[in-house]
Structure 1
Amino acid sequence: MSGGIADVTPARLSLLNGGSVASATLTEGLAIDFAQLLAAAVPDIGAARLDRMRAQAATGITRRMALAAELLLEANVDLAQLQGHVSDTVRGWACFAIAAQTGATLPQQLTAMRPLADDGHFGVREWAWLALRPHLAASLDEAISLLAPWTADASERLRRFACEALRPRGVWCAHIAQLKETPQLALPLLQPLRADPAVYVQDSLANWLNDAAKSQPDWVRSLCAQWLQESPNAATARICKRAQRSLA
């Protein structure tokens, strides 16, 4: 099955743009016309704001997500209404709106983001950490302290958020130079997950360490050796193997 935007059928695209269904794939999410969806989700958003959205139709999706959030905040839209929307993209806008609210502290932002970080849709969970990552990176010590308890949460989605949000290199986002150079700062997040039973969390942790290995390979080798000795089980073995996949 082809995965291009052109392969999204007109009927399916109409449902996506109307906000009556969630996207099933990343391709479907990329195919959505944000102005159409915004008009459907918030009918009184205003023509001028829709025009601003249309003017940015050709920009990257992350920038468009942030713009949608800006327009929603300008219009004083109830974010709780957005968080319960059928469309995962609309819930993603809520993620960016939470991150963009002025005056909110990092603990307040994390509390507000928590249900979205635990959302049932894969896309919303990605938007949750992407939206909040700049704030987390800007207050790294505080962020690590606040996220550490999440590594013990019953939800594998929240455990994964605690790791994924601060990957040194990450995907679709700016790198965190401090963690590229001194990845050991994140040990309060990494150490508790070294034998996590969930593949979802294992993959995130392995990718975190693979990021770190590109600038601090010896540290990653040493940490994996320590973990394999302290925690000789299948989960840790899988994490360490994947973590070192780019190392010679």
Structure 2
Amino acid sequence: MPEPLKNLLHEALVSEMADRIAANASSFDKARFVKLATDGLGALELMERSALVRDGLFATLPDDFPEAASILKASLPAPGRAGLTGWMLLPVNQFIAARGPDYFEIGLQLLKALTPHFTGEFGIRPFIHRDQQRALAIISGWVADPDQHVRRLASEGTRPRLPWAMRLPRLVKDPVPILPILTALMDDPEDYVRRSVANSLNDIAKDHPDMVAAFIADHIEGASAERRRLLKHASRTLLKKGHAQALANFGFGAAASLECELRLVNSEVMFGEGLDFEIRVTNAGQTTHSLMIDYAIHHVKADGSLSPKVFKCKTVTLAPGQSHAIGRRHAMRPITTRRYYPGEHRIAILVNGAESASETFVLRMPSPDRG
């Protein structure tokens, strides 16, 4: 069993954090900070723990934000000196997010200094929410920064739907202002940065699929292998949904000459086991086709309706008359993101986004007294 994420922010870390701040501010009340920041800490989840430590910073750092920012910046690591790093900086993000927007440039510069030692993507979002134009004008200047972490902050911090973070509703509605940032970082030398660009584009695709498909089309011709991988990763939601332009961007066009067969090895599945199935795709036409083969499980919901979830399977190229067979097992076991219900489910095979074959199967739940 992996260690709970919340335990990364613990009492010993808070105490070490206090020592590192006190080394740069003689007036900092270490004992009071530790007392406030650890009172009831063990009963809290990660973000609640971070908020408690942030409140300890509110109570013990100077009320004057520029002075507090100077202390925090001086407390960051430097050559030959330990400093605030790692999970210590999550509550610092929250501190800057709450106090920094009133001192716009000072707050953003502190996040820029902080991000090589953890990440500033959580703290930066209230600045964008407060004054998007002003914030993006500053952030856009970071795309050429020599530090990869700063460049990544420019893309990751501006993601419209960044997980765990404040949503940016104006950018959800109109993401055009961040496209120049993503374009500038598309060919970044670091995969770490390029993956952030891809994730941001994927965020945008959830609300503006046609915009992202057109963006990909504009940037895929003559693309390097690295850029092509980025663009495909950025298109993953669109490809799963069978968006026609997104599929065409990667050579997955409609092919009426394809034949697809689906065979279920077991049409009844006991929860905790798996659905075994076989797919056979044949190119009955006269031209070669590139095929993206996925499958969707249509799960039974509490009200008896079906809800599909698409899973990646395989990409193949078939010459005229050629066939390809695939065997898979889809596990039906407990996961934290889905509740399973017994009854008749459906599996559908998707070839280049189009449903090409389907079958039903029954999911059975073990009796409560089983075993």
Q: Is the Cα–Cα contact under 8 Å of residues 106 and 136 in structure 1 kept in the other structure?
A: no
CA 1:83–1:100: 2 relative to 1, 3 Å:
farther
Q: How many residues align?
A: 217
Shift of residue 104, structure 1, vs aligned partner = 4.3
Kindly provide the CA deviation profile for residues 130-151 of structure 1, in whole angstroms up to 9, marking residues without a partner as x. Answer: 1222222322111111111111
- Report sequence identity in percent: 25
User: Match for residue 21 of structure 1?
Assistant: none
User: Match for residue 31 of structure 1?
Assistant: 7
Structure 1 residues without counterparts, runs of 5 or longer:
6-26
The equivalent position to 2:175 in structure 1, one of 183, 194, 205, is: 183
Which has the larger Rg?
2
The equivalent position to 2:35 in structure 1, one of 50, 53, 60, is: 50
Q: Is the Cα–Cα contact under 8 Å of residues 98 and 109 in structure 1 kept in the other structure?
A: yes
Confirm whether residue 244 of structure 1 aligns to residue 242 of structure 2.
no
User: Match for residue 194 of structure 1?
Assistant: 186
Which amino acid in structure 1 is aligned with residue 55 of structure 2? E
TM-score by length of 1: 0.76
Q: Distance in 2 between matches of 1:207 and 1:172?
A: 14
User: Match for residue 8 of structure 1?
Assistant: none
Confirm whether residue 233 of structure 1 aligns to residue 224 of structure 2.
yes
Structure 2 residues without counterparts, runs of 5 or longer:
20-28, 63-70, 78-82, 243-371
Which amino acid in structure 2 is aligned with residue 178 of structure 1? R
User: Match for residue 214 of structure 1?
Assistant: 206
TM-score by length of 2: 0.53
User: Match for residue 150 of structure 1?
Assistant: 142
Shift of residue 189, structure 1, vs aligned partner = 1.1
* SS of aligned partner of 1:42: helix
User: Match for residue 4 of structure 1?
Assistant: 3
CA 1:61–1:107: 2 relative to 1, 3 Å:
same
Runs of 4 or more consecutive aligned structure 1 residues displaced over 6 Å after TM superposition: none
Q: Distance in 2 between matches of 1:183 and 1:49?
A: 42
Shift of residue 197, structure 1, vs aligned partner = 2.3
Q: Distance in 1 between matches of 2:225 and 2:159?
A: 23
User: Match for residue 306 of structure 2?
Assistant: none
Q: Is the Cα–Cα contact under 8 Å of residues 194 and 235 in structure 1 kept in the other structure?
A: no
Q: Is the Cα–Cα contact under 8 Å of residues 122 and 166 in structure 2 kept in the other structure?
A: no
Higher share of residues assigned helix: 1
CA 1:46–1:150: 2 relative to 1, 3 Å:
same
The equivalent position to 1:96 in structure 2, one of 94, 99, 102, is: 94
Confirm whether residue 60 of structure 1 aligns to residue 45 of structure 2.
yes
Q: Distance in 1 between matches of 2:99 and 2:228?
A: 41
Q: Distance in 2 between matches of 1:178 and 1:87?
A: 32
**What's the RMSD between the two structures over aligned residues?**
2.5
Q: Is the Cα–Cα contact under 8 Å of residues 136 and 143 in structure 1 kept in the other structure?
A: yes
